[in-house]
Amino acid sequence: MFSKILIANRGEIACRVIRTAQKLGISTVAVYSDADAHALHVSMADEAVNIGPAPVTDSYLRADHIIKAALDTGAEAIHPGYGFLSENPGFVDAVVKAGFVFIGPSADSIRAMGLKDAAKRLMEKAGVPVVPGYHGEAQELVVLASKAREIGYPVLIKARAGGGGKGMRKVDSPDDFAEALGSARREAKSAFGDDRVLVEKYIAKPRHIEVQVFGDNHGNAVHLYERDCSLQRRHQKVIEEAPAPGITAEMREAMTGAAVKAAQAIKYSGAGTIEFIVDATEGLRPDRFWFMEMNTRLQVEHPVTEMITGLDLVEWQLRVAAGEKLPLAQENIPLNGHSIEVRLYAEDPAKSFLPATGTLYHLAFPNAVKDGAVRVETGVRSGDEISPFYDPMIAKLVVHGADRAAALRAMQNALSETEVAGTVTNTAFLAALVRHPGFAAGDVDTGLIDRDLAGLIAPVAIEAGAKELAILFASGLFKRPVSTDPWTALRGYSHHAALAYPVMLEENGAITRYEVSVLGDERYGISSPAGTEELRVRHGPATWHVTGKGINLHAKAMTIPHGVAVLAKGAAAAFSVADPFLLAEAAGGGGDRLAAPMPGLVKSVRFAAGDQVKKGQVLLVLEAMKMEHSITAPHDGRIAEIASEGTQVKEKSSLVRFEDAGNDSSKI
């Protein structure tokens, strides 16, 4: 076994690898960019080496910097995690050439499965079923469009390199093919450096079921059962579970058998995943699944497999890379209960899942983590920042139950006890998915989220009393537990007349003035233009208890920059404490503009200054956090200025300025 390894990654997967290494007595070396100097994985490792500036192209994708760090620290092996260089055969070659062990498959295996078209031809030869489609070398528009017509619409354009839904577009009509192809190619080129694509038949009711496989260097290969990853948006997984709902013994035998056959075809060593697309229009049938691709690395969702088998897949990776045989034969690998994983992201579902940034002023996970009922995989802590440079994942919540119903209940509880303040998250969206009748019944497919999106992202009503608690907190009358200071309950109290403490909240762009008065005996009054209400506030061991007319709230409250956050039942509500002078200044400098919602790169520009545009037209495409975001016209108008293609913009930078409506002759 190794004595020291380097982890060529960051975030939660780096932390995950470090934990297993520590369990096995292996020293760890972390690498980090300038933006990650104080990251959790850096503090957990025995050593840490800076490998460059924040952009991944200058740090986590610099193979030479990573190998130098391994040489300088005396590491024996390099674990790639997932993403970044984990499936780059050139990196594997460089690692081996430098005298290190790569904790993963060989470069030849990665090359064999790295390009989807070549991989599918290989699988066909191995007797593994593949999706009908065009996997050839020709990339001309006329050829691809012709093949799409032969296959029959709808079709799916897919980048032949990489994964994660990048460079993938569904096309319903020949009229849309050219534009979809251009968009897929740009995204693929940006993400993988390869803009070549393949075209496949789009399955009407597809389920995404994958099989975890493991091989060693002694010719052994096994499977560790299947995972269902059908709940997706933008072709990216949102919820994963194991085993797959509704799977029969016959279906499992056929699918896992095909997966092991695929691994054996390339003499695979290490952890890998064979991904299948399944036609679920008539349930799960052993003749209705097809090979999509192989991920030659550890998957983000590997914890659900660990939960149902009781095995540590990172430990298996380390043992296999060290030359050992697989720890268990196929017949000895257990399958117990049901596990579900959700991905908690800093993103805004109501704004097309726009990635978010911000400081995690408060981050708390379920109490059940302490007794093992819930597993949390994270790479951040309270006080850490979600930056624009990397994937905005906050954590993965993983639960296990005796059966699927028990796992669903456990996940509902886990989400209700997860607290995040400082950035918008998808917590409410995940909770809505877990409660979804179709998902609860196991009737899932990759289109479920899109079909029911409006209901899944519907605004969650703020708990009654949350705003009142925020106003009280903003008044400054109590910001520490009453139990630690008996005089807190009397702070602001006047025997003769209640003193009024003003609080200005910004609500829907306007300022509302409230006045808070202390009435004594834990009672407070809040006055506003709408009237006055009386509340009683008590502080328990962890939460404030607010009661009043129609209010019975148990919640946490905390100050955040420019406001107050109130957290209750897994939901966070942020209230802005307004500064009227700043608002007035902002209003005075405003104009008819579109600003960048986050830092990014202007990838393409569709119009020029002087062009007349209609509401809803795509004006430009902004690439941020590895995804393309279309910026559309909010109304009809004529463009006065528009950002140039290739421009790197900051958050709130002006992207488009419209001519003043009063000077627009087209509206006369």
Quote the tokens at residue 489: 């309950």
**Catalytic center residues:** 297
From CA 84, how far away is CA 51, in angstroms rounded?
A: 14
Among residues 384, 365, 387, the alpha carbon closest in space to that of 41 is found at: 384
User: Two tokens at 93?
Assistant: 């070659």
Report angle CA 74, 78, 80 to the nearest 5 degrees: 150
pLDDT at residue 507 in the model: 82
Q: How far is CA 92 from the centre of its chain?
A: 27
Burial class (CB in 10 A: 0-12, 13-18, 19+), 538: middle
Are 345 and 392 in contact by the 8 Å Cβ rule? The answer is yes
Strand-pair category, 101-102 with 77-79: parallel
What is the predicted pLDDT for the residue at 489? 46
Of the candidates 255, 295, 301, the one whose C-alpha atom is nearest the C-alpha of residue 113 is 295
Residue 205 DSSP SS3: coil
For residues 307 and 302, what is the distance between their CA atoms, to the nearest angstrom? 9
pLDDT of residue 371: 63
Look up residue 450 and give its DSSP letter.
H
CB 10 within 8 A of CB 39: yes
User: Tens digit of pLDDT for each residue in 188-232?
Assistant: 998 888 999 999 988 888 999 999 999 999 999 999 999 999 999
Counting as low any pLDDT under 50, the low residues of the chain are: 480-490, 492-493, 580-590, 662-668
φ/ψ of residue 313, rounded to 5: -70, -30
Q: Which of 174, 168, 188 is nearest to 145 (CA)?
A: 174
For residues 575 and 470, the answer to whether their CB atoms sit within 8 Å is yes
User: pLDDT at position 588, please?
Assistant: 37
Q: What is the predicted pLDDT for the residue at 241?
A: 98
Distance CA 469, CA 510 (A): 20
Which parts of 351-489 are beta strand (E)?
Answer: 354-355, 358-359, 362-364, 374-378, 385-386, 393-401, 419-421
* Model confidence pLDDT, tens digit, residues 85-126: 999 999 999 999 999 999 999 999 999 998 777 888 899 899
Predicted confidence at residue 496, as pLDDT, reads 52
Give strand ranges (E) for 484-584.
501-507, 510-520, 523-528, 531-539, 544-548, 551-560, 563-568, 571-577
CA distance linking residue 72 with residue 110, whole number of Å: 27
Q: Are the C-beta atoms of residues 471 and 514 closer than 8 Å to each other?
A: yes
* Cβ atoms of 7 and 69 closer than 8 Å: no
CA neighbor of 629 nearest in space, from 388, 395, 300:
388
DSSP 480: S
Return all residues near 408 (Cβ < 8 A) that are at least 6 apart: 340, 401, 434, 440
Rg (CA), the chain: 27
Cβ proximity of 511 and 580 under 8 Å = yes
Assess contact for 348 and 386: CB atoms under 8 A.
no
The Cα–Cα gap between 87 and 81 comes to 10
Dist CA 155 CA 177 (whole Å) = 9
Are the beta carbons of 434 and 411 closer than 8 angstroms?
Answer: yes
